[in-house]
Chain A
Amino acid sequence: MSTNITSSKFSRRAFMRTSSLAGGGLLIGFNLFQACKPKAAPPIDLAELNYNDFNAFIKIADNGAVTIFSPNPEIGQGVKTSMPMIIAEELDVSWDKVNVVQGILDNENYTRQVAGGSQSIRFGWEALRQTGATAKQMLINAAAARWGVDASECTASEGVITNSKGETLGYGDVVNDAAALEVPEEVALKEVKDFKLIGTDVGNVDIDKIVTGEPLFGLDYKADGMVYAAVVRPTTFGKKLVSYDDAAAKAMPGVIDVVKIGAKVRSLLEKDPGFSSKISTSDKVAVIAKTTWQAMKAKEAIKAEWEDDGTIDSTEEMDKALTGLLDGNRFENLRKDGNVSRAFAQADKVLERTYESPFLPHNCMEPMNFYANVTPEKVHLVGPIQTPAWKAGLVAAMLERDPSEIHLEMTRQGGGFGRRLFGDFVIEAAEIADAIKKPVKVVYSREDDMMDGIYRPAIKYRIKAGVKDGKVTAYHLKEAAINDNMYDLIPNFFPAGAIENYQVDVAKYQSKITTGAWRAPYTNFLAFAEQSFFDELAEMMEVDRVQLRLDLLQKVKGTEDERIQYSPERMEEVIKVAVEKSGWGTKPEGVYQGFVNYYCHNSHVAEVADVEIEDGSPVVKKITCVVDCGIVVNPLGAKNQAEGGVIDGIGHSMYGDYAFKDGTPMAANFDKYRLIRMKEAPVVEVHFLKNEYSPTGLGEPTLPPAGGAIANAFKAATGKRLYNQPFSKYPELLTVPEKEIIG
């Protein structure tokens, strides 16, 4: 269970090195997630920061100013602010002395330089604290040596070191001495209660640049001589390019070149097949022009011929295939406790329901794009990517270059949501740059972005529960999904451990439609299915719906089953606080509530939706969201994440629908694909539980419960239960029966 407060010891020597900078000041290089190269030394010149040796640096200048070269990709989840906050806390400098710079990262050995799975803070927490604390101790040691006193007689706070006589030295005064010292083996971390910066509201470090429109994003990046590429790609999954006519395109203004790409990607896929279900293997045609618009226009003038290449899928058939899988018996078992069949046979009552979800595109606001320049010396890649190390490695393999020649810079990212984990666009940019021998930026149009996606797969769940003598005795969850099934931790989420006979089985249908992670993979829909089911189960059992969940949790307390992921105590606490904060069960007539509790990404969340009837339809007015994600580093940013997750969850369960007809996506842009907008966004009231647990995921966990919370509230309001998403597709279920409006 994830309830440990203290964590393992680090050897600081193994992951930190220091040097003094040529221009004065101390540079500390460190590796967040692994030991750095044994012989590595940080450079003495900032221009030579080598991220092959370290993945992050702290510079303390001799005027005391601190620069943190932040290692993690920023996709909007705020780590560019919160990770440096953790260093600054332990280093004990005031935040206004800290400058944060996005590191340039090109290390093929990165293990966790990934913005995904809400894990950046969770993995970085201990290492970042150790780093800050070690730097502080070295500065104290340097000051103590200067004064000729013992380091234990000195303290440091807000960038100033004080000895027992009350004499003071600023960090800047001793950086050059500190740079010559050994890295200490043991340092003390602060007590949580002594935190000064962590837990306070800190604004986004890029805010000034964002509100004035400075270049920050991949699409904003420019280099000398850079040209633009727009790519003709198959608009149908399961087709490949046969031939194309580029005569008209080549005659258009600004067009520099038209090249066929794809061969290099295919040879890469032979070496690394793990990537293949996430990427199209067809040839594509890249139109190179002087400006983005010229490339986009000329792309439209390419006449391409396509032919079938494997199965061409339509939503309708895939739907039938998934139902067939649920009805069949070819499952893989992921967890089995007791004997569900026997328990169902002996049950007084049985409830079985099926829930269906569509494919979803990510629709990052900034369409996919990447810059590449392939020269004999190096391969320069710049842009928004959530997995830089993985992609740098693939590019090296594809172009048969030494990994040290791949130089990848990350920009700020206009949203990720899982889409930028895949980096098919990085590979594409590299292949084009290699072909044309010019610096080039590949720009996806919104249509490319939506129609050449790596979608949230369509999934169906069937849940069956048995009740005997007023107790839930059996629970059987079946999943039928496109391409991939749930990851192996999920079967150990709630209600695993709470029900004696419990089983999770999965099956999948292979399609040419590319699928992958989408914000809170699997749980983004499973939470709705499971928590709607519990709501209905409580109705069938004629018990209080919140009490049913609390009763089940009691059985998990003190469990010795190490596989169980959630903490019943922490879950119980979020439930109780949500009941209190939402006024659960005490609302005036006309306000209908829906309840959900959920665990994912190591965080526990409970959400209550308040719905009112307007013009005969239920409208979501407010969500109360209670989150236990351990220590909240930056509440201002955390609230933004939590609120966004809730509204995103509502938006996609209400409106998100992406269908395919004969392999072709039925929507290409926002005229046909609906995203939630301001008028549909309810008030979101976020409460974080205060505790001393290490921080856990926040970018994702508030999203999954939202769909279930509103569906349960809709049921309370209309008497009608929703089983399929998006809800807006079923207007007849989103109305109050006529007579009730009149009455």
Chain B
Amino acid sequence: MPTYQFKVNNENRSVDVSEDTPLLWVLRDHLDLVGTKYGCGIAQCGSCTVHLDGNAVRSCSLTMSQVEGKSVTTIEGLSEDGNHPVQEAWKEVDVPQCGYCQAGQIMTASAFLEKNPNPSPEDIKSAMHGNICRCATYNRIYRAVEIAAEKMG
């Protein structure tokens, strides 16, 4: 099995997996980073969103050859103490219901706000549209992104 080297949450990691193994399962099963969630496996729900060199990507649909040599940030590494402005906003609004989709929501929102610190309502809705929340906490997600934008701006 080939070996892949990449950075996860600023640490160098190396894994031996078959080349079709998605990043999602490397994170969850090999590196014990289970904060990144499996929802659909086909890039439709956003549960598995992580940052790849700062961009929000669907880890279920990235193979390790696409990750080799790059830097991945997961929900566990988004901040030192859970105090990233997006995480703070999520706590302030008390967004989650079941909570399962929320890591993906937070990773999408944090990458988006990094690139667009002054989003319009439409920008926020478009950015978050790809992330399903089955509990339908959409309005709280929206408010939390607005608050996070203020905190970051």
Q: Which positions in A face B, CB cutoff 8 Å?
A: 75-78, 201, 203-204, 206-208, 210-217, 219-220, 222, 228, 253, 291-294, 297, 363-367, 412-417, 445-446, 636-637, 640-641, 643-648, 651, 669-671, 675-679, 681, 683-684
Out of B28, B40, B130, name the residue touching A292 (CB < 8 Å): B28
Known contacts A208-B91, A679-B125: A213-B33 contact under CB 8 Å: yes
CB-CB < 8 A to A210: which residues of B? 96, 99, 102-103
Asked, given contacts A210-B102, A365-B101, A415-B135, whether A671 binds B38 with beta carbons under 8 Å apart, the answer is no
Q: Is A293 touching B21 in the complex (CB atoms < 8 A)?
A: yes
Interface string of B133-144 (1 = CB under 8 A from A): 111111111100
Q: Which residues on A sit within 8 Å (CB–CB) of B32?
A: 222
Can you give 7 contacting A-B residue pairs, CB < 8 Å? A207-B90, A208-B91, A212-B79, A220-B34, A446-B41, A670-B132, A678-B142
Residues of A within 8 A of B1 (CB): 253
B99 and A76 within 8 A (CB): yes
User: What residues of B have a CB within 8 angstroms of the CB of A215 in the complex?
Assistant: 34-35
Tell whether, in the assembled complex, residue B100 and residue A211 are in contact, meaning their CB atoms are under 8 Å apart.
no
Known: A365-B39, A681-B139. A291 touches B126 (CB 8 A): no
In the bound assembly, the distance between CA atoms of A677 and B134 in angstroms comes to: 9
CB-based contact A636/B94 at 8 Å: yes
Let me know if A293 and B29 touch, CB within 8 A: yes
Instruction: Establish whether residues A292 and B29, one from each chain, have CB atoms under 8 Å apart when the complex forms.
Output: yes
Q: Is B129 an interface residue (CB 8 A)?
A: yes
Complex: chain B residue closest to A673, CB-CB: B44
Question: Bound state CA distance, A400 and B47, in angstroms?
Answer: 39
- Contact status B136-A643, CB under 8 Å: yes
Residues of B within 8 A of A675 (CB): 132, 134
Chain A residue, CB-CB nearest to B28: A292
Q: Contact check, A678 vs B125: say whether CB atoms are below 8 A apart.
A: yes
Majority secondary structure, B binding face? loop
Asked if A365 and B137 sit within 8 Å, CB to CB, the answer is no
Residue of A nearest to B130 (CB): A677
Provide the bound-state CA to CA distance between A348 and B76, in Å: 69
| Measured CA separation A214–B81 after assembly (Å) | 12
Q: Across the interface, do B25 and A671 meet the contact criterion of CB distance under 8 Å?
A: no
Which of chain B's residues have a CB closer than 8 A to the CB of A446? Answer: 39-42
Question: Measured between alpha carbons, how far is A294 from B28 in the docked complex, in Å?
Answer: 13
CB of A365 within 8 A of CB of B44, answer no
Q: In the complex, A414 Cα to B106 Cα: how many Å?
A: 16
Interface size of B by CB at 8 A reads: 60
B25 touches A291 (CB 8 A): yes
| CB-CB under 8 A for A677 and B132, given A212-B75, A212-B87 | yes
Cα-based distance from A637 to B98 in the complex (angstroms) = 11
Q: A207-B91, A415-B135 are in contact. Are A365 and B35 (CB under 8 A)?
A: no
Q: Is B37 among interface residues, defined by CB-CB distance under 8 A?
A: yes
Q: A366-B37, A414-B100 are in contact. Are A679 and B44 (CB under 8 A)?
A: no
A334 to chain B, nearest CB (A): 32
- Measured between alpha carbons, how far is A276 from B45 in the docked complex, in Å? 32
Q: Write the chain B residue with the least CB distance to A75.
A: B98
Q: Which residue of A lies closest to B21 (CB)?
A: A293
- Whether B25 contacts A293 by the Cβ 8 Å rule is yes
Q: Is the CB of A669 within 8 A of B44?
A: yes
- Evaluate contact between B125 and A365: CB separation under 8 angstroms: no
- Interface 0/1 of B75-110, CB less than 8 Å to A: 110110010000100110010111111110010000
Asked if B20 is at the interface of the complex by the 8 Å CB criterion, the answer is yes
Known: A206-B99, A679-B126, A681-B136. A637 touches B94 (CB 8 A): yes
Indicate if B128 sits at the interface (CB-CB under 8 A).
Answer: yes
Q: Are B128 and A292 in contact (CB under 8 A)?
A: no
| A445–B38 alpha-carbon span in the complex (Å) | 9
Does B44 lie within 8 Å of A204, measured CB to CB? no
Q: Please, how many angstroms separate the alpha-carbon atoms of A637 and B95 in the complex?
A: 9
A445 lies within 8 A of B136 (CB): no
Q: How far is the CB of B38 from chain A (nearest CB, A)?
A: 7
B136 and A647 form a contact (CB under 8 A): yes
Contact of A207 among B37, B94, B139 (CB under 8 A): B94
Cα of A637 to Cα of B94 in the assembled complex, Å: 8
* Bound complex: CA A207 to CA B92 (Å): 10
Q: Which A residues are in CB contact (< 8 Å) with B139?
A: 643, 647, 681, 683-684
Query: Which residue of the partner chain A has the closest CB to B127?
Result: A678
Please state if B22 and A293 are interface contacts (CB–CB under 8 Å).
Answer: yes
A65 to chain B, nearest CB (A): 22
Which of chain A's residues has its CB closest to B88's CB? Answer: A211
Q: A366 contacts B98, CB within 8 Å?
A: yes
Chain B residues whose CB sits within 8 angstroms of the CB of A412 once the complex forms:
98-99
CB atoms of B44 and A670 under 8 A apart: yes
A211 touching B90, Cβ below 8 Å: yes
Partner pick for B34 among A77, A208, A213, A416, CB 8 A cutoff = A213
